[in-house]
């Protein structure tokens, strides 16, 4: 009986990098279902796309231009932004301007690791320094009192008769911002908790 030679072809196996387990910034940032029945004005999109939309709408103030530049310079590997309003005609993409009605703005920045996110958090965002430890001010809550992480603060302020809530916090590799105008405190707590859970 003739012998049959069995040969095996050898192919180089190139290992693939494991998939990043962290969620995308666009998945974490505020979504329409978080703020129903508000309508979506823009997003989730990356920072360049958000700023371009604001420019097209004539809603890009010098302050917003500077804030977006600062967010990009902070070195996120991913970033996303979104904006919502109670009516389409009230859509505005600049959180520095007083909205005509209820509005929500969200920003999510994902960094390569938690240490990088912590460094950016410590520097402050939107040209706003973090409150000092133990600082007291009307409507201000910091740390675990916010219901978020120890690296967090929320402040409710009166802006010409309209309540505006600013929430800044770090969750793992994410640094997050929510600015809500005309929403009651319970609605803001629910909103920030949803965003926070998605970042874990």
Q: pLDDT digit string (tens) for 75-109?
A: 999 999 999 999 999 998 999 998 889 999 999 99
Domain ranges for the chain: 25-131+139-199
pLDDT tens for 176-186 read 999 999 999 99
Lay out the sheet containing 140-142: strands in order across. 39-45, 78-85, 103-110, 174-181, 162-171, 152-159, 140-142
**How many CB atoms are closer than 10 A to CB 122?**
11
pLDDT of residue 100: 87
pLDDT of residue 9: 47
Q: In this model, does residue 51 exceed pLDDT 60? A: yes
The CATH number of the structural domain formed by 25-131+139-199 is 3.40.1000
> Concatenated DSSP letters for 171-193?
ETTEEEEEEEES--HHHHHHHHH
Would you say the pTM of this structure is higher than 0.85? yes
Assign residue 147 a region (left: φ > 0; alpha: ψ between -120 and 50; beta: otherwise).
left
Contact 49, 60 (CB under 8 A): no
């Amino acid at each position: 009986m003739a012998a049959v030679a069995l040969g095996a072809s050898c192919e180089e196996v190139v290992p693939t990098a494991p998939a990043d387990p962290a969620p995308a910034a666009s998945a974490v940032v505020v979504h329409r279902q978080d703020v129903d029945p508000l309508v979506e004005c823009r997003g989730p999109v990356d920072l360049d796309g958000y700023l371009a939309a604001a420019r097209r709408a004539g809603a890009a103030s010098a302050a917003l231009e500077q804030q977006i530049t600062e967010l990009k310079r902070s070195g996120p590997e991913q970033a996303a932004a979104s904006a919502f309003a109670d009516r389409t005609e009230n859509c505005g993409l600049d959180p520095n301007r007083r909205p005509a009605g209820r509005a929500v703005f969200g920003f999510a920045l994902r960094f390569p690791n938690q240490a990088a996110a912590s460094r950016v958090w410590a520097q402050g965002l939107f040209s706003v320094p973090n409150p000092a430890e133990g600082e007291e001010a009307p409507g201000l809550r910091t740390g675990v009192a916010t219901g978020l992480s120890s690296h967090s603060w929320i402040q409710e302020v009166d802006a010409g008769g309209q309540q505006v809530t600013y929430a800044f916090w770090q969750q793992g590799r994410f640094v997050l911002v929510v600015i809500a105008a005309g929403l009651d405190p319970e609605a803001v707590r629910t909103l920030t908790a949803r965003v926070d859970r998605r970042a874990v």
